Amino acid sequence: MPSLSHDAFDLHSADQVPDSYSWPSSVLHDHPAAAPDSVDSIPVIDISSPSAASLVGAACRSFGVFYATGHGVPSDLLGDVESQARRLFSLPLHRKLLAARLPGFLSGYGRPPLSSFFPKLMWSEGFTLAGDPLDVSGDIWSHDQYSLFCEVTEKYKRWMKRVAEKLLNLMLHSMGLDDEMTDRAGLMKEMILAVDALQLNSYPPCPEPEKAMGMAPHTDSGLLTVLHQNGGAHGLQILRGENGSCPARWVAVPPLAGALVIHVGDLLQILSNGQFRSVRHRAVVNAAEHRISVAYIIGPPEHVKVGPIRRLIKAGQSPMYRSVTWPEYLAIRARLFDKAIQCVELPAK
């Protein structure tokens, strides 16, 4: 098969997987898949319940991921943002490329930024909104077409920020910090100016799913990620046992009606002094269904240094990580990818 440029190759109309998208079996099956309904079942937590903080803390320590219910986000808004994402990705490729992500910019259409670390391309397309959605959606649609997209995505981001702030507060409390302590730590006040982004992901049906990877394994760099998946289409998997407690295996995180999927990010691992672990995850593809996911990623303001909270460091212990800003950490990730967290580790005393 002739080689095909990513920009000229339309995943939606493919009848086979080009070599540039064909991953070695040794990578696709590096670890076995856990059996459904095993002990690896992802925790489901009602974050409005009185016991939410302790349950969230336990999930962050053990899994690095959990389902959140009781979040208050209107179900019709979840449907609306999914519908707008599907409308966007159903456009002809040449239209989507009008909003192609430019070098040095976060917003726009294109392949996942982590693609540069892998020799093969991923069976997915993404659209990142890191500021005003009009800045990129206006390149694709006329006013009457982009206005609804902008309205829905902006409303969704506002709701997601509320959810993220509630989750972060629960996480801090689960580590033994009361309201006064969290105020002193300063993070919740700083979150008013938090940096956030909305990542729309599309995984079209793949004619040869046994050859392709939807999204390569990675951790998220920010504090936490709030993910909405469209119902029925499976694909998200997390890696369990990576730290050697038991054999490593891929665990499915299927859609759960009305629930959001919460991921611990690298900066939260640093903030918690290693109590919480950022979760390595990937996306696999299938031949029948078009999977859509919407990820809300949040981190501290650009000027804020994130380091282990002092009150979490017990007598005789030392901080595990040095303090970094999010832009500084992203620069390290751009060079070292999944070795970035090791780069900010402090030597044991």
Count the Cβ atoms, other than its own, within 10 Å of residue 187. 20
The CA dihedral of 142, 132, 292, 239, to the nearest 10 degrees, is 160
- Find how far residue 131's CA is from the centre of its chain: 17
Please list the active-site residues. 291
Q: Is the pLDDT of residue 225 over 80?
A: yes
pLDDT band at 75 (very low <50, low <70, confident <90, very high): very high
Whole-number pLDDT of residue 340: 94
Q: Using an 8 Å Cβ cutoff, are 182 and 201 in contact?
A: no
Whole-number pLDDT of residue 6: 47
Q: Is the pLDDT of residue 243 over 60?
A: yes
Whole-number pLDDT of residue 7: 55
pTM of the model: 0.93
Whole-number pLDDT of residue 3: 33
Count of residues for the chain? 349
Dihedral of alpha carbons 246, 219, 87, 230, sign: positive
Q: Using an 8 Å Cβ cutoff, are 264 and 278 in contact?
A: yes
Q: Is the pLDDT of residue 15 over 70?
A: yes
Across residues 78-96, what is the average pLDDT? 95
Q: What is the pLDDT of residues 285-323, one digit of tens each?
A: 999 999 999 999 999 999 899 999 888 887 668 899 999
Q: What is the pLDDT of residues 109-163, one digit of tens each?
A: 998 878 889 999 999 999 999 988 888 888 888 877 889 999 999 999 999 999 9
Whole-number pLDDT of residue 38: 59
Whole-number pLDDT of residue 192: 66
Across residues 192-220, what is the average pLDDT? 94
CA distance 25 to 48: 43
Q: Using an 8 Å Cβ cutoff, are 34 and 251 in contact?
A: yes
Across residues 200-213, what is the average pLDDT? 96
User: What's the fold here for domain 42-306?
Assistant: Jelly Rolls (2.60.120)
Q: Kindly state the percentage of the chain with pLDDT values over 70.
A: 91
Q: End-to-end CA distance of the chain, in Å?
A: 56
The burial of 298, by beta-carbon neighbours within 10 Å (0-12 exposed, 13-18 middle, 19 or more buried), is given as buried
Average pLDDT score over the chain: 89
Q: Kindly state the percentage of the chain with pLDDT values over 90.
A: 70
Whole-number pLDDT of residue 242: 72
Q: Is the pLDDT of residue 348 over 90?
A: no
DSSP output for 93-133: HHHHGGGBPPTT-SSEEES-GGGGGSSS--S-EEEEESS-T
Q: Using an 8 Å Cβ cutoff, are 233 and 291 in contact?
A: yes
Residue 33's closest CA among 242, 287, 208, 252? 252
Across residues 11-32, what is the average pLDDT? 93
Specify which residues 198 forms β-bridges with.
129, 296
